Structure 1
Amino acid sequence: MTDFRLPSLGADMDEGTLLEWRVAPGQAVKKGDIVAVVDTSKAAIDVEVWVDGTVRELLTKVGEKIPVGTVMARLLVPGEQVVEIPPAPVAPAVRVVRAAAPATLPLAAPAESGPAARRPVSPAARRRAVELGVPLTGLAGTGAGGAVTLADVEHADVERAALRSVAASVPPAVDRAVDRAAEMRKVIAAAMARSKREIPHYYLAEPVPMRAALGWLRAHNESQPVTQRLLPAVLLIKAVALALHEVPEMNGTFIDGGFRPSAAAHVGVAISLRRGGLIAPALHDVGDKPLPQLMAELGDLVQRARAGSLRSSELADPTVTVTNLGDQGVEAVHGVIYPPQVALVGFGRIGERAWVEAGRIVALPMVTASLAADHRVSDGHRGALFLARVRELLQRPQDL
């Protein structure tokens, strides 16, 4: 039997709430199928299964909040067999004979009807109950034969006061939609604090001429319908992915004290959400895809991220993150690495700047490419080679 556990969907995720099961016991599933929807601090995420098999049992209830790593279900994968455990033998029934309770002489004749009328209550306890407003009905006695004593009445009054205090201290429920932005900001803060605490960052920046890239983009888009035109962002992302293959120290994760390089470039794209906060789902295998396909996937990813409809693999798989704040008018971005990744690439706005070309000062469209990298895995020399390669690739956009 194979355990299906709640996956970690990022360094800022410690727990999740099951919103929906998409499968039932006995149902066959294939790798990549969506089996559940889990609510995190950022969005409702479609959780995929990682193996082929058959669902044997569901262990987590809808609405239940569970920590990362909790076994949510059990699957029977090909090659496994179910071992049926025979039920334990049923023990013969034993007849229990109860002895009659001894008669108890009342200490005082109760004035109440019902159960309290048959329960002995001391005169002092009765007077105190009237003073405190404690009902004797249902009050358990600790005196001889179950008699209600003065101490029983006073203890019941203390318990009632404590319950009233607890009820008064419970805050009103906060609407989930209103509270999500604050919760997201809290987990982002925790992840970024962890990053700065654990990762020895170093930063580099490189001015990149964009005349060739924008000229090629303009010519390409002239022959395309509006819905299929490319944006500069897709050129930047593709250049990063290709440069990662040549400087692999920037592509992977640092886990359990060691670097784990990734053969594929799964680029996390930083996306701002309308309700506030940030999320960075992955574009998979960026280096192997043509620009039109990447553009379509990028548009779909942004739309689904803002609608709260992402898949778990899109949050768990990024091997590097790219953040582009050019539309906000900033010149450069010096970001914080998202653990367990080891690098973050930033781009500022594309704008005209003075540039020396062939001994003359000219105005060229430029963008500042920046790198935040993990000094445990790479050094400034390798980081500089990476940015230089990004710059070179953007001078030959037809090869992207």
Structure 2
Amino acid sequence: MAEFRMPSLGADMQSGKLLEWLVKPGDVVKRGQVIAVVGTEKGDIEVEVFEEGVVRALLAAPGTEMPVGAPIAIIESEAEAEKVATVLASRPADVTGEATKTVAEKVTAVPASRPANGQRIRVSPLARKLAAELGIDLSQVRGTGPQGAIDKADVERAAAALKAQQEAPPPAPTQPVEAPAPPPPAKPVDKSSAEFQAGMRRAIALAMARSNREIPHYYLETRVNMAKALAWLEAENLKRPIQNRLLPAVLLIKAVAKALTQVPQLNGYWIDDALQVAEAIHIGFAIALRQGGLVTPAIHHADLKSADELMETLRDLIMRTRAGRLRSSELTDATITLTSLGDMGVEKVFGVIYPPQVALVGFGKVTEEVWVENGMIGVRPVVYATLAGDHRASDGRTGAEFLDVLNRLLQEPETLFSA
């Protein structure tokens, strides 16, 4: 049997709150299947499992805060499950029944609560049990616990209010009296939003403090003539309906991914005082949240995707990031980070590497600048590309080679998506 542990969903994460199980004991799970939802400082994350088997036990109830690495479930491989079934089948009926009863007593199912509209209700196990006993509809209860979770006190208040409503005498008939106009309602304070922003800032601060403390950064920048790249993009978009047109970010993501195939030293992690170069290229794309903060989910295998696949992946990631519906692999798999602030008018970005990654690429906005080429002076659309590198893993020469390859790829945009 294998222990499924609370995953680390970022360099800053020390613990996570189990919000919901999406499986129950006895369920068969496949690799990549989402089995739980975990609350972190950066939002609610769908956690995937990376082994196949049968869920034998859930070791943590929804609402429980668990440290990273703590066992939260037991998953038995399908081969082990078949062996157990064979052994039980070969025993006498009374023994098999007793063994089954023992296993059932050890396995605690934690059902998820969902109202009719399909939205998830966060509720503590004790509150859920009490609500069932008192006949309280949890979808009508306002939670006051962490992240709006319903606790025992919330259920008790709802039960008291329901009882008072049932026992109250009918109102006596009275002459209508014109009441004074009520004062305008005070604007409610969105505590959950404020708490989320505070948590997000705290998580980012912890990660960046670690980065500045542990990583000896070096920075390089170069100017890239984007005339050919933008011309190619315009021609490609003329072939597509408006809803399927490509953003310039697609070109930048693909160029970074292809450049990493030629300079792989920047694609990986610094772990145990050594560079571990990653085979797959997963670009972490920085996405700003509307309520504040930043998340960098991974675009998996960016070097292998077509232009349309990259655009669809990017659109989907942005939507799910801002809706708080990312998967654990999207938060942990990035092998390098790409950030672009061109839409905010920023010309140059000097980022901070997200540990344990060893590099970060930044792009500013495209501006028209004087450009000298073949002895001729002209005006070209230019973008500044920057690189933040970890001096433990690479040096300036490696970084310069990467930027040179990146520049050359953007001068031949038609080759970026060729086989």
TM-score of the superposed pair, with normalisation by structure 1: 0.77
Q: Is 2:355 the counterpart of 1:318?
A: no
CA distance in structure 1 between the partners assigned to 2:20 and 2:11 by the alignment = 23
Per the alignment, in what secondary structure is the counterpart of residue 392 of structure 2? Answer: coil
CA distance in structure 2 between the partners assigned to 1:174 and 1:242 by the alignment = 44
Q: Which amino acid aligns with 1:36?
A: A
Alpha-carbon RMSD: 1.7
Q: Deviations over 1:358-386 (max 9, x none)?
A: 21221100000000011111110010000
Q: Is 2:404 the counterpart of 1:373?
A: no
Per the alignment, in what secondary structure is the counterpart of residue 78 of structure 2? Answer: coil
Per the alignment, in what secondary structure is the counterpart of residue 274 of structure 1? Answer: coil
Q: 2:296 aligns with which of 280, 284, 301?
A: 280
Q: Deviations over 1:157-197 (max 9, x none)?
A: xxxxxxxxxxxxxxxx9933320101110110111010011
Matches within 5 A, 1:140-219: 175-219=191-235
Partner residue, 1:239? 255
Partner residue, 1:63? 63
CA distance in structure 2 between the partners assigned to 1:48 and 1:234 by the alignment = 27
Per the alignment, in what secondary structure is the counterpart of residue 198 of structure 2? Answer: helix
Matches within 5 A, 1:1-400: 1-80=1-80, 81-82=83-84, 175-400=191-416
Aligned length: 315
Q: Which amino acid aligns with 1:341?
A: Q
7-16 or 73-82: bigger deviation: 73-82
CA distance in structure 1 between the partners assigned to 2:357 and 2:199 by the alignment = 23
1:291 shift after superposition: 0.9
CA distance in structure 2 between the partners assigned to 1:338 and 1:185 by the alignment = 15
CA distance in structure 2 between the partners assigned to 1:36 and 1:26 by the alignment = 15
Per the alignment, in what secondary structure is the counterpart of residue 12 of structure 2? Answer: coil
Q: Deviations over 1:298-339 (max 9, x none)?
A: 011001000000000000100000000000111110000000
Identity %: 54
Q: Which amino acid aligns with 2:193?
A: A
Q: Which amino acid aligns with 1:286?
A: A
TM-score of the superposed pair, with normalisation by structure 2: 0.73
Per the alignment, in what secondary structure is the counterpart of residue 18 of structure 1? Answer: strand
Q: Which amino acid aligns with 1:58?
A: L
1:70 shift after superposition: 1.0
1:258 shift after superposition: 1.3
Q: Deviations over 1:18-59 (max 9, x none)?
A: 111000000000000000001100111000000000000000
CA distance in structure 1 between the partners assigned to 2:233 and 2:50 by the alignment = 39
Q: Which runs of 5+ in 1 are unaligned?
A: 88-172
Distance 1:174 1:57, change over 3 A: farther
1:285 shift after superposition: 0.2
Larger Rg: 1 or 2? Answer: 1
Q: Deviations over 1:121-161 (max 9, x none)?
A: xxxxxxxxxxxxxxxxxxxxxxxxxxxxxxxxxxxxxxxxx
CA distance in structure 1 between the partners assigned to 2:190 and 2:399 by the alignment = 46
Q: Which runs of 5+ in 2 are unaligned?
A: 89-94, 100-188
CA distance in structure 2 between the partners assigned to 1:282 and 1:222 by the alignment = 29
Per the alignment, in what secondary structure is the counterpart of residue 79 of structure 1? Answer: helix
Q: Deviations over 1:332-356 (max 9, x none)?
A: 1000000000000000001111111
CA distance in structure 2 between the partners assigned to 1:262 and 1:353 by the alignment = 37
Per the alignment, in what secondary structure is the counterpart of residue 57 of structure 2? Answer: strand
